[in-house]
Amino acid sequence: MNVVITGASKGMGRAMALKFAGAGATLFLCSRKQEQLGLLKTEILKQFPDRQVHVFAADLAVKAQVQDFGTFCLQCGTPDILINNVGTYHPGNLHDEADGAMESIMNLNFYSAYHLTRALLPSMISKKRGYIFNVCSIAALKAYPGGGSYSVSKFAMHGFSQNLRHELMPHGIAVTTIHPGAVNTDTWGGFDNSKARIMEPEDVADMVYAITRLHPQAVVEELVLRPQLGDL
């Protein structure tokens, strides 16, 4: 089982890498920082010495680097699971956020998924099976104060997922949009979660893995995960 994960060195991406490593997967992990990827690879191999872990440092806001990562993955075989997870968050308002904010956030949060999926899909379609997970956000379900370009990028990802789902039905490839609420990642800047107010990255990883265990005739089109006490 070949699993491709972007934004893999921390947060939800890291949790998903560890989850799938535990299930015996061969991993293809991408992040901007080679050092963090190296530390994660070392951690995975310490727990699971027989795993294959391939890491690739790239800035996925840059189309050429996305395509380079796609080529890197295909050199080792066809992906069975693609998890488009990479993203960034900057609060703001559309009417007064910094010039270029939209382009910067869209390049990473949306176009990275678009370009990587297009690079890997021909090989996946030829196998007539596979999973694509697009990590979106509850910010794609309803506008909220300060959402700005971030929210727009997640609305775009949501639409991308819906169209992919429709297109890939006859090819045996399941497409799932993941809409997490607040998760204890760097986005929350050291949030004190001692009272378990928000979710942990492992919550998302467990659900993504569970979806891959369904019978092939079943698909979870959208999954919304929120803290038990609601949004912050």
Residue 117: name the closest of 151, 85, 155 by CA: 85
pLDDT greater at residue 40 or residue 91 = 40
**Cα 139-208-88 angle, rounded to 5 deg:** 40
Flag whether pLDDT at 188 surpasses 80.
Answer: no
Flag whether pLDDT at 227 surpasses 90.
Answer: yes
Flag whether pLDDT at 192 surpasses 90.
Answer: no
Could you give phi then psi for residue 123, rounded to 5 degrees? -70, -40
Residues ≥6 apart with Cβ < 8 Å to 157: 84, 109, 110, 113, 134, 136, 140, 177
**pLDDT for the residue numbered 189:** 74
Which CATH class name applies to 2-225?
A: alpha beta
pLDDT greater at residue 89 or residue 162 = 162
How far lies 193's CA from each of 7, 14, 110, 223, in Å?
Answer: 22, 19, 29, 23
**pLDDT for the residue numbered 208:** 98
Predicted TM-score (pTM) above 0.85? yes
Among 32-36, 115-119, 142-146, top mean pLDDT goes to 115-119
Helix segments in the chain, DSSP class H: 11-22, 34-47, 63-74, 101-106, 112-127, 148-168, 201-211
